[in-house]
Amino acid sequence: MSTTAPRRGRRPGSPDTRAAILAAARQRFAQQGYAATSVRGIATDAGVDSSLVHHYFGTKEDLFVAALELRVDPREVLPIVAEGGVDGAGERLVRLFLSVWDDEESRTPLVAVARGVLDPGGQRLINDGFSRMVLQPLGTALGIDRPEERMALVASQMFGMVLMRYLARIEPLASASPEWLVDVYAPVIQGYLSGPI
């Protein structure tokens, strides 16, 4: 009985290899977190060679962003928050956050990700993904002291807003105007960024 080597490249008979890679990536990132997930493991789950994953998505970081289905790449928009320095960064961050979450096309995949965080092991998405891709770079760019502690506090407020406004749809947060939310949340976020902790 002869054995054949595993086929490399595109899976035979599957025109939607990109979708298979994304599905495998979402599952791996959710189960294992960003750091423990490898491109090779994603490729194996998708039934393709790892070079094909790189061909479609570039780096693991790029694949993570693609798996979240974000219309806005956080690596591209966070410099807007950081460029003005720490003064006013709380307001800029809340405005940016709301502009992404209040956009219906962006919100749909984000809600799915946020619900996944509540599943067993889902905290890895926050710890490895959101923290590594958004919080740590923003804290570094702002040059704040104790960035790990401060950005964890920021995350607690932002995720609380997601939970109350977009998942549980608790009033008055669910129907509040973005301006009202900026007025309420920005000073708290600013305090975490630059106030005493």
Domain region containing 53: 17-68
Q: Are 46 and 56 in contact (CB under 8 A)?
A: no
Q: Looking at residue 168, which CATH number applies to its domain?
A: 1.10.357.10
The pTM score is 0.69
| 9 band by pLDDT with thresholds 50, 70 and 90 | very low
3-state secondary structure 24-43: HHHHHHHHHHHHHCCHHHHH
Q: Is the pLDDT of residue 70 over 50?
A: yes
Contacts of 191 (CB under 8 A, 6+ apart): 90
Q: Are 111 and 146 in contact (CB under 8 A)?
A: no
Give the tokens for residue 128.
């490895």
Q: Which of 40-49, 62-71, 141-150 has the weakest average pLDDT?
A: 62-71
Q: Are residues 45 and 126 in the same domain?
A: no
Q: Are residues 91 and 161 in the same domain?
A: yes
Q: Which of 75-84, 122-131, 171-180 has the weakest average pLDDT?
A: 122-131
pLDDT in tens, 47-56: 999 999 999 9
Which one of 30, 53, 68 terminates a domain?
68
